[in-house]
């Protein structure tokens, strides 16, 4: 393995501007993690216009910092208020809040910070080793492989996303349709523009992401009943005892591995891995009854796993060019805006960008550890800022920000329309994540599909005869049909159980 580009990457990170933006990113991430309301995808979307004037490396370093910083911050509200700041910290509520009730809030926060740091660092090391290998393997991918990969990625993200699967795939299909709007790059025909000049160049990614994630979430939160946050003003003794560390070391180790592996899978990500890590710790434990009543492992495992997953979910993006979740889709969009197309050639063609971003995560995790152990009191005080005050500020940042991208009032209207759509989607049970992800991959998918068809002289069977695209399509069918098979099996099993119960009751 060639070490020179990796060391160069550190030189990139240590440039003062990049260090500053890394710090800015993790602080913003931690803040939005602490403040319930906006998630990392929404925050990154809202801040997209801010990254336009920056170098690509600097921009992505900051946006990545927001993402993994949010995983640290989400813990604080879970432990202190029983109010998860992020979905990936929901399981931490069970044992974290129980510990806080026993007066051991500091222990819970300390263990979570240490676990997050270990999980994050293990995942970065693994990322540095795995991503170039995957990228090297994918360099030979042609249009058919990319078609299959993009389709599989979209389907996986939709099926694993929260909520109804059918609805998630519908959202993805709408995203693909929105990507069609504008002039067709092959034939020059105008598609679904309705004669509107502003639509001829297609819909821009920024207003869609800002509207669906940013405004959509704020509007959706307007209907929430606000619970008064009663944060304790002081958190004592954040350093966990040696006994606590010993007890949770196994959970931290396993959490790192689970998080890394699940983060790699499209749709896996931080939420799923935190749930899986908690479930596994509870099953392995000799004293499972302690879980839910203040077991340190119950905090250590999910917090380690969600951070490891947040880091490893960069691998599919940086090595294949396929975003693995909604946040990665926004970062994908940010890279495209910067004129960088993420894909297997990124490691070799833009080594400074690749290693700069990867290595910045070491620095970011160290900064977060410093921020979250000694400075936890500062963030606890921030809990008193009310969502009602933040909402109008975020709305203004969105409206002004989207205007500054192209100096276009049309874009302000566009972001409002997508804000309304985002609200309606959440209200009606559609996850907006798959829509944004499919939109961002839409053009790539269509181009590769049409180039493949040219390659095969119009015979779709060509996809199945190539080994890699054939395998990917087979997995695609498996994932698509699995829910159907599962529900059939479940129904049969339920019928048999009912029959069983009936005979027993007769006896």
Partner 1 sequence: MSSAHNGSSHPADPGGHAAAGAPPAEEPEAPGTLHELEEVLHHIEEEDRPPHAGPLANVLVALAVIVLGAAALIGSWRLGVGSPAAPQAGMWPFLISVVLLLLGLALLPLARRTADVERFTRTSWLVLAGLATMVVFAVVIPYIGFEIPAALLTFAWLRLLGREGWRLSVIASLAVVIAFYLIFVVALSVPIPHLF
What is the DSSP pairing of strand 182-183 with strand 190-191?
Answer: antiparallel
Query: What are the φ and ψ backbone dihedral angles of 386, each rounded to 5 degrees?
Result: -85, 150
- Site membership for partner 1, residue 276 (CB under 8 A): yes
Whole-number Cα distances in Å, 169 to 104, 236, 333, 392, 408 = 43, 47, 20, 32, 32
Q: Per-residue x/- marks for partner 1, 467-506, CB under 8 A?
A: ------------------------------x--xx--xx-
Identified binder of partner 1 from the candidate list 169, 203, 258, 310, rule CB under 8 A: 169
Q: Are 95 and 292 in contact (CB under 8 A)?
A: yes
- Site membership for partner 1, residue 204 (CB under 8 A): no
Identified binder of partner 1 from the candidate list 267, 298, 316, 342, rule CB under 8 A: 298
**Shortest spacing between CB 259 and partner 1, in angstroms:** 15
Q: Are 324 and 157 in contact (CB under 8 A)?
A: yes
- Site membership for partner 1, residue 201 (CB under 8 A): no
User: Residues in contact with partner 1, total (CB under 8 A)?
Assistant: 84
Q: Are 192 and 181 in contact (CB under 8 A)?
A: yes
User: What is the spatial distance between Cα 327 and Cα 319, in angstroms, rounded to a whole number?
Assistant: 16
Q: Which is nearer to partner 1, 4 or 461 (CB)?
A: 461
**Shortest spacing between CB 220 and partner 1, in angstroms:** 8
Q: Which is nearer to partner 1, 2 or 289 (CB)?
A: 289
DSSP category for residue 226: P
Rule CB under 8 A: which of 411-470 touch partner 1?
412-413, 416, 419-420, 423, 427-429, 446, 449-450, 453, 457-460
- Site membership for partner 1, residue 229 (CB under 8 A): no
Q: Are 268 and 160 in contact (CB under 8 A)?
A: yes
User: What is the spatial distance between Cα 359 and Cα 121, in angstroms, rounded to a whole number?
Assistant: 10
Query: What are the φ and ψ backbone dihedral angles of 191, each rounded to 5 degrees?
Result: -115, 125
Which residues lie across from 182 on neighbouring strands?
191
Rule CB under 8 A: which of 179-198 touch partner 1?
180, 184, 186-187, 189, 191-192
**Shortest spacing between CB 388 and partner 1, in angstroms:** 3
Whole-number Cα distances in Å, 69 to 81, 150, 375 = 19, 28, 14
**HSE of 139, CA atoms in CB hemisphere, 13 A:** 11
Stretch that binds partner 1, among 202-210, 218-226, 234-242, 360-368 (CB under 8 A): 218-226
Rule CB under 8 A: which of 138-167 touch partner 1?
162-164, 166-167
Q: Look-up: residue for tokens 């890699």?
A: 468
**Shortest spacing between CB 164 and partner 1, in angstroms:** 6
**Shortest spacing between CB 95 and partner 1, in angstroms:** 7
**Shortest spacing between CB 319 and partner 1, in angstroms:** 26
Identified binder of partner 1 from the candidate list 126, 271, 376, 441, rule CB under 8 A: 271
CA dihedral 305, 308, 310, 312 (to 10 degrees): -130
Stretch that binds partner 1, among 12-20, 283-291, 309-317, 470-478 (CB under 8 A): 283-291
Identified binder of partner 1 from the candidate list 67, 68, 97, 291, rule CB under 8 A: 291
Which residues lie across from 183 on neighbouring strands?
190
User: Number of H helices and number of E strands within the chain?
Assistant: 23, 2
Query: CA-based Rg of the chain, rounded to a whole angstrom?
Result: 23
- Site membership for partner 1, residue 395 (CB under 8 A): yes
**Shortest spacing between CB 102 and partner 1, in angstroms:** 15
Q: Which is nearer to partner 1, 177 or 468 (CB)?
A: 177
Q: Which is nearer to partner 1, 1 or 197 (CB)?
A: 197
| CB within 8 Å of 81: residues ≥ 6 apart | 229, 230, 231, 383
- Site membership for partner 1, residue 288 (CB under 8 A): yes
Classify 190 as helix, strand or coil: strand
How many residues make up the chain in this entry? 507
Identified binder of partner 1 from the candidate list 409, 482, 489, 499, rule CB under 8 A: 409
Q: Which is nearer to partner 1, 227 or 246 (CB)?
A: 227
Rule CB under 8 A: which of 84-123 touch partner 1?
84, 87, 90-91, 93-95
Identified binder of partner 1 from the candidate list 246, 293, 384, 492, rule CB under 8 A: 293
- Site membership for partner 1, residue 300 (CB under 8 A): no
User: DSSP characters for 451-473?
Assistant: HHHHHTTT-TTHHHHSHHHHHHH
């Amino acid at each position: 393995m060639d070490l020179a580009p990796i060391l160069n990457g550190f030189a990139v990170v240590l440039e003062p501007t990049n260090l500053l933006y890394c710090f800015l990113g993790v602080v913003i991430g931690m803040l939005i993690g602490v403040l319930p309301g906006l998630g990392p995808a929404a925050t990154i979307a809202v801040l997209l216009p801010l990254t336009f004037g920056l170098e690509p490396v600097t921009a992505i370093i900051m946006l990545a910092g927001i993402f993994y910083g949010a995983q640290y911050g989400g813990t604080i509200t879970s432990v202190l208020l029983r109010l998860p700041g992020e979905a990936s910290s929901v399981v931490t509520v069970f044992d974290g809040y129980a510990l806080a009730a026993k007066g051991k809030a500091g222990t819970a926060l300390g263990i979570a910070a240490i676990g997050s740091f270990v999980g994050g660092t293990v995942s970065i090391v693994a990322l540095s080793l795995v991503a170039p290998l995957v990228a090297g393997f994918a360099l030979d991918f042609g249009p058919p492989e990319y078609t299959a990969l993009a389709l599989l990625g979209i389907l996986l993200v939709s099926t694993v996303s929260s909520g109804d699967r059918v609805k998630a795939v519908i959202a993805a299909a709408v995203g693909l349709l929105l990507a069609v709007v504008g002039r067709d790059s092959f034939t020059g025909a105008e598609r679904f523009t309705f004669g509107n000049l502003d639509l001829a160049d297609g819909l821009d990614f920024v207003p869609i992401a800002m509207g669906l994630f940013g405004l959509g979430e704020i509007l959706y939160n307007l209907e929430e009943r606000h619970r008064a946050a009663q944060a304790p003003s002081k958190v004592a003794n954040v350093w966990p005892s040696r006994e606590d560390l010993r007890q949770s070391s196994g959970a931290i180790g396993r959490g790192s591995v689970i998080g890394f592996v699940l983060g790699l899978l499209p749709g896996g990500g931080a939420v799923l891995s935190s749930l899986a890590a908690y479930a596994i710790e509870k099953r392995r434990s000799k004293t499972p009854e302690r879980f839910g009543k203040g077991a340190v492992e119950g905090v250590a495992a999910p917090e380690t796993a969600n951070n490891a997953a947040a880091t490893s979910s960069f691998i599919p993006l940086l090595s294949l060019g396929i975003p693995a979740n909604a946040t990665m889709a926004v970062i994908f969009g940010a890279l495209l805006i910067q004129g960088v197309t993420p894909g297997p050639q990124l490691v070799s063609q833009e080594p400074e960008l690749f290693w700069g971003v990867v290595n910045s995560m070491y620095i970011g995790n160290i900064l977060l550890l410093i921020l979250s152990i000694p400075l936890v009191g500062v963030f606890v005080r921030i809990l008193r800022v009310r969502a009602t005050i933040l909402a109008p500020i975020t709305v203004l940042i969105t409206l002004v920000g989207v205007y500054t991208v192209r100096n276009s009032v049309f874009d302000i209207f566009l972001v409002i329309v997508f804000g309304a759509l985002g609200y309606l989607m959440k209200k009606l049970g559609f996850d907006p994540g798959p829509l944004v992800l499919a939109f961002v991959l839409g053009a790539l998918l269509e181009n590769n599909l049409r180039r493949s068809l040219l390659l095969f002289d119009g015979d779709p069977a060509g996809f199945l005869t190539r080994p890699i695209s054939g395998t990917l399509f087979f997995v695609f069918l498996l994932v698509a049909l699995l829910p159907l098979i599962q529900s059939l099996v479940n129904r049969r099993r339920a019928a048999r159980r009912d029959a069983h119960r009936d005979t027993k009751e007769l006896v």
